[in-house]
Structure 1
């Protein structure tokens, strides 16, 4: 225990001025002497721990754990705990990360991740044991899409880092306890209520004043001599608090709430006046948790989290096309656990997510030389939106797990039931009007020189003496409800025999949507080598994926109907009436037939060597995955049906099991704590990831690309060969290297975390848009496009300004992209050219 006076955090931030964005202006800050305070240092923990699964043996060679203290020290200012996974070698992020369009700036959802080569929707992500993966379509990111909401992400529920107590990533040799994935398993656990009275309040801020912006060379070349638009103007706030309170010696509760807000200034298209307007997002977190010791051996836990998310977008080349996109939801669970000769737990859980949207209806495209339509300088002006879409997913789960010492080993197992209900609705009919005739068009269209007369009772579709709209799309109201029942059971036996640890497991899964009975064996063995502390592990495992309900929902969409009308010439005028509307065309959304589909699965071979080098723990690990029976779409078939009243036109697909993938990766990790003041973690991963389709709505290359011939390096090769030579486009950098260093300074009053991430570039074979004739036949020319490497450095600094019997006040600086590098060097955009440069988050935290 010690005493020491310190200067204010303002002096510290000023001293870091050279690291902040260019937009930050230097200011004179006078040091202020603070009152005498008392502090106690607890030391700094390891960046993460390895090989600490249920068996706590080498067979859990694919397990990595990030604890509560490390979450607080290392999370970026945004509070997104998924970003913490960048310190692990087998997790990949999109190479488009760091773009600074208005949509990117206000997107507060967690980062999507790929684990061991899996696609972003192929992971098992749980919060307090509850599955929070989406079974709906996550491929649409266009908020103005007329038929698809854009609020759905791979992770339906997410919580701020201040509420998280532990993160466990399993990338290989995964226990039979976990299923419904072919990528990896990410287990997020909210923190347990403290058994003493405690309170916390925090606030963070970032904005354009402490953020730099960069533009790629490719975008600068696209602009040429034209000036760049004004750089983004935005603000983000993150604030909240919590209270831990013991109700008795055996009962404690935690109550917490937090909010994130993002606002960005956008500008209308010059044709719409170029004025500014605000787009925004809000993400809320509410958590209530209680733990009660019913006896020495039995504990009752109950948790409920509510995390609604809303984003308000407004299209810049329209008026009234505002879209409120929803996300997040509710999750709750009750757990009764017993610890003794027989350890068991019963868990009941429920999750509800809402990913719909709200938008006005009807929509209009009206000639601008009219009273109602004269809101822009284009020939026609767009007003109104695409209507509401409701979309929800509900998960109900009940499970039982137990473990006991049986003979010389430990038997673990469990079983459970889960119900998944998905719902999509267009709650009211949607109309979109266009194709306007004005009085000036009458001589050419009708051969008259009079005026327009309206006998139309629908508002804004006709105006006497001005215009009449001659077309509308009709989207009928609909409700679609689909669901599935899931049953599972698992068992595994772990045994230590001399220098060997063995684990054999089997998992059974059944989902009523596909109707398949899937058995997944899991085998792992480790050998404690004669060299003390060294363990060699090998494993062979099968992982089955899950059903997707997106196909079934799309299959139930109603047809979109297109109506047109012509006016009636009366004398020298043209009369437009409701009775003039006639069916012009029916368009059925793509049909997705499915029958006798197998469950996608991945077979894994893995090996790992762990030991001690230079005083730290080292892990060398190899993973080979081969994914089969993955969902894909057949090439579309255009179906045209003539009817008495019009033409029905749609595309028909068949869902297949023709998707496949491979992943080969080798990683090396080294972790060491240097006393209680410093902690280091270094790791790297080299991998190749290949697949013949990007997602479940894309066709497989065997059918789509097999007959296409292209010119590549002077040779004629098939599209299938090009597809097979390419790696997956995203989430698949061949080489990654990470380093993180956490340290305590000034008598444990200052905590710093410096982390590095290097992602190597790679070559992608792409269309050059050039055509070349060979032997009289024209071919598209393909060539190698180089995606360059990227190096990112981030710094977190926490300074304990005051500590006394009344609590502690900590000032916080979280600096991202410290070297001010361009995140995506190949990105080209005229509309939104900027990318994030150096960005600072400033915060204060009070703990009692």
Structure 2
């Protein structure tokens, strides 16, 4: 590995050269004083020592010290034992990307979490699973988060994974709430920080050891990012203008440049680009002792410039822009505290393609020959778009009211009532601005003897192809017409909750009701949690709970048929290059039954305990979830005949509620409450260990689910050497059986140095690939080959060193090392993709420098 020069390299070398006497006693004293000053910095919150099962709160310090190479929320969540990641999270093929990884909480689908930023719903309610994007001509490969906020800009991150109160709805996984920073400094003082980070492919090891990997990484391609440069700049500014007014301003920009081979003769290499921008402001105003007002805006924009390998004129720029306006008023009345929130958010996704025509030619020397000289006589030369231009809009307006009443006694019990209600309006629009044409190999044939191209026929080429044919032309294709689709949804909710204290019992009883205008359903969700303290103190808590969570219905199911109706098969009036007139036939394949869809829900049962002994806190938890009415993309089939053979053909697709799953998650946590002292160092430990077992009878809402002839979930398959029902196979992703996570943080009394370690162990797992059909008792069934993947271990480390430059000014140098031991970890794709072993990234360095003032 070699280190490449960068602005950060020079910054680090300059600072080191001017600080060679940093170990001087006086410097240590100044550094210690400065550290104490920084601890009172207005953006650093005091650690919240909560031991409530199901809720984990991370402070600014937690976010800063944990190795986080992607600077996003979900990458940080690797420390939480109830969170599972996509198996390709650490793939060596995608380290140049900026989009956040997807996560599953307690076995739920990755698109069923609720993301909040400053209290505003940051979830993609239109198409979080990217169902439309599976056909790139129809949609975007979208993610579950609307705005990818930079973790450097946050002061608090809260994860609600179980026993979630009635206040939260529209999820069946978990709630992830992020907050930017509130100023609490002295009046008239302005504080801030600026952070720059840098990494690149030359700062990483690629442990390529399989023949497939060696071939893929011979040159950088779009799907195998062998080369990249990634850097980011973020800034925070905060202070109190007066006793009653405070402000926080923030902004960040991250960029990744990914050179890839084009696959064509000129240019041979092109630069793909990724950008992620955040900006925002929050104002805090306290006009009197009874009222607190908070308002502001958050902005995010993530874009990508991409090209398709071996396809000329295929460039496209895609960006997702999110703007949120929020206002919150907290009012203290005689017997209650009332909080009102009014939020507006707009998410716009746009793809601008170079052209609106895609053609898949057969290679022809002297004419269709812009790709590299092929070795096969049947090689192709493609040009134009594979997706076309699209626009997608999502508007939401929400209002909520919450009243927390003062506690009162009733007999021997104490009660605290909370009442709440709210309204949300969503408007989604999809738009294709221009007709899009696609001509692929299925609609292409060669010129016959006596045939020739018409002068104005751009779909005909008379040049001899590489395999000696005398020209080629297209006789059919696909037309995606310009048009739009729109859907609206109104949601109302109300909830009531009573927190009851009686001796050593703490009981929370809640009930939530949600109404959805699309399904016209009223959904009632009970929420309950019971805590028992057998020793009448905090040293031992036994916790249980039963809760129901209704997830949010995605609007893609409502739009799908409208979009599909814009697809047409086109063909020449006769299969002859002399014919220049074409006819159109609508090719939808969808029926819209989405208005009859039920809202998916999950029933949760929880058992757990937390105990404190000496300086340790230990937790045990079991979460069982049964999810029902999950949305599936149903494929209706019938028997068809061709050449004397009978097979199943697709009649149409629609959406249904045929999905269900069951999850069991066992977790064990252990941490020391106060740091251990060893010589002149302090040590903080945290262990998280979990076992996960998830079974699903479906994959997600955009994969085919066959509902007749035969029934999908009851059909038999061969899984390894066993015959089982298709629905009894393990979930194919977000289902790592055993994981262990250890954090070890080290601080020093005499040095402003911090070392933070994160160890992760993931057990072996089985992956499967459909390889063939076999005869079982006279019936043909699918057979899946099982591949066992070895355990994976990684040690990530972050070190930081503070330099005192002047009064109230410090510089912190940071270095993150992922996979310190350069462990050769492997993974596989999901079902139906590939059972080829692929490699995770090896040792990787990320450097950063922060200036605080």
Q: Same fold (TM over 0.5)?
A: yes
Distance verdict in 2 for CA 1:380–1:733, change over 3 Å:
closer
Shift in Å, 1:762: 2.3
Question: Secondary structure, in 3 states, of the residue corresponding to 1:747?
Answer: coil
Does residue 267 of structure 1 match 2:261?
A: yes
Question: Secondary structure, in 3 states, of the residue corresponding to 2:63?
Answer: helix
Distance verdict in 2 for CA 1:781–1:397, change over 3 Å:
closer
C-alpha distance in 1 between matches for 2:668 and 2:615: 16
Task: Tell me the equivalent position of 1:55.
Answer: none
User: Could you tell me whether the CA contact under 8 Å between 2:128 and 2:145 is conserved in 1?
Assistant: no
Distance verdict in 2 for CA 1:322–1:651, change over 3 Å:
farther
**Superimposed CA distance per residue, residues 595-649 of structure 1 (whole angstroms, 9 cap, x where no aligned partner):** 5332211111112211213412222111111111211233334799xxxxxxxx9
Distance verdict in 2 for CA 1:304–1:589, change over 3 Å:
farther
**Superimposed CA distance per residue, residues 88-147 of structure 1 (whole angstroms, 9 cap, x where no aligned partner):** 11111111222233xx23321222111111111111211112112122334449979442
Distance verdict in 2 for CA 1:342–1:472, change over 3 Å:
same
**Superimposed CA distance per residue, residues 700-744 of structure 1 (whole angstroms, 9 cap, x where no aligned partner):** 5875435744456766x35xx2430x2211111111111112222
Task: Tell me the equivalent position of 2:58.
Answer: 66
Query: Which of 565, 571, 575 is the equivalent residue of 2:572?
Result: 565
Query: Which of 760, 766, 787 is the equivalent residue of 1:757?
Result: 760
Shift in Å, 1:564: 3.0
C-alpha distance in 2 between matches for 1:424 and 1:323: 18
C-alpha distance in 2 between matches for 1:419 and 1:775: 54
C-alpha distance in 1 between matches for 2:217 and 2:657: 50
Task: Tell me the equivalent position of 1:694.
Answer: 699
Task: Tell me the equivalent position of 1:393.
Answer: 394
Task: Tell me the equivalent position of 2:541.
Answer: 535
User: Could you tell me whether the CA contact under 8 Å between 1:415 and 1:488 is conserved in 2?
Assistant: yes
**Superimposed CA distance per residue, residues 327-381 of structure 1 (whole angstroms, 9 cap, x where no aligned partner):** 2411220111124642111111112112332212122344654766442346542
Question: Secondary structure, in 3 states, of the residue corresponding to 1:85?
Answer: helix
**Superimposed CA distance per residue, residues 8-66 of structure 1 (whole angstroms, 9 cap, x where no aligned partner):** x989999xxxxxxxxxxxxx9998335964222449999985646xxxxxxx4211110
Task: Tell me the equivalent position of 1:212.
Answer: 205
Query: Which of 705, 711, 715 is the equivalent residue of 2:712?
Result: 705
Shift in Å, 1:151: 4.2
Task: Tell me the equivalent position of 1:407.
Answer: 408
C-alpha distance in 2 between matches for 1:472 and 1:713: 41
**Superimposed CA distance per residue, residues 164-184 of structure 1 (whole angstroms, 9 cap, x where no aligned partner):** 111111111111001111111
Task: Tell me the equivalent position of 2:166.
Answer: 176
**Superimposed CA distance per residue, residues 531-563 of structure 1 (whole angstroms, 9 cap, x where no aligned partner):** 742111111111111112111111102242233
Q: Which moved more, 1:230-239 or 1:603-612?
A: 230-239
C-alpha distance in 1 between matches for 2:825 and 2:321: 28
Task: Tell me the equivalent position of 1:95.
Answer: 87
Task: Tell me the equivalent position of 1:6.
Answer: none
C-alpha distance in 2 between matches for 1:590 and 1:746: 67
User: Could you tell me whether the CA contact under 8 Å between 1:661 and 1:690 is conserved in 2?
Assistant: yes
Task: Tell me the equivalent position of 1:799.
Answer: 801
Shift in Å, 1:766: 4.6
Query: Which of 87, 107, 116 is the equivalent residue of 1:117?
Result: 107
C-alpha distance in 1 between matches for 2:427 and 2:495: 24
C-alpha distance in 2 between matches for 1:714 and 1:347: 57
Task: Tell me the equivalent position of 1:644.
Answer: none
Instruction: Compute the TM-score of the two structures, normalised by the length of structure 1.
Output: 0.85
Question: Secondary structure, in 3 states, of the residue corresponding to 1:175?
Answer: coil
C-alpha distance in 2 between matches for 1:95 and 1:543: 26
Structure 2: 5+ residue stretches without partners: 1-7, 410-414, 464-470, 641-648
Task: Tell me the equivalent position of 2:3.
Answer: none
Does residue 502 of structure 1 match 2:520?
A: no
Shift in Å, 1:162: 1.6
C-alpha distance in 2 between matches for 1:494 and 1:835: 47
Matches within 5 A, 1:167-206: 167-195=157-185, 196-206=189-199
C-alpha distance in 1 between matches for 2:10 and 2:254: 27
Distance verdict in 2 for CA 1:728–1:353, change over 3 Å:
same
User: Could you tell me whether the CA contact under 8 Å between 2:137 and 2:388 is conserved in 1?
Assistant: no
Distance verdict in 2 for CA 1:831–1:142, change over 3 Å:
farther
Question: Secondary structure, in 3 states, of the residue corresponding to 2:599?
Answer: coil
Does residue 256 of structure 1 match 2:243?
A: no
Distance verdict in 2 for CA 1:354–1:748, change over 3 Å:
farther
Structure 1: 5+ residue stretches without partners: 1-8, 15-27, 53-59, 641-648
Task: Tell me the equivalent position of 2:425.
Answer: 419
Shift in Å, 1:237: 0.4
C-alpha distance in 2 between matches for 1:355 and 1:516: 30
Query: Which of 812, 815, 818 is the equivalent residue of 1:810?
Result: 812
C-alpha distance in 2 between matches for 1:317 and 1:619: 54
C-alpha distance in 2 between matches for 1:412 and 1:596: 33
**Larger RCO (alpha carbons 8 Å, 6+ apart):** 1
> What do you get for the CA RMSD once the two structures are aligned?
3.5
Question: Secondary structure, in 3 states, of the residue corresponding to 1:556?
Answer: helix
C-alpha distance in 1 between matches for 2:596 and 2:130: 27
C-alpha distance in 1 between matches for 2:279 and 2:495: 33
Task: Tell me the equivalent position of 1:344.
Answer: 338
C-alpha distance in 2 between matches for 1:411 and 1:711: 54
Shift in Å, 1:802: 2.7
Task: Tell me the equivalent position of 1:731.
Answer: 734
Instruction: Compute the TM-score of the two structures, normalised by the length of structure 2.
Output: 0.84
User: Could you tell me whether the CA contact under 8 Å between 2:637 and 2:706 is conserved in 1?
Assistant: no
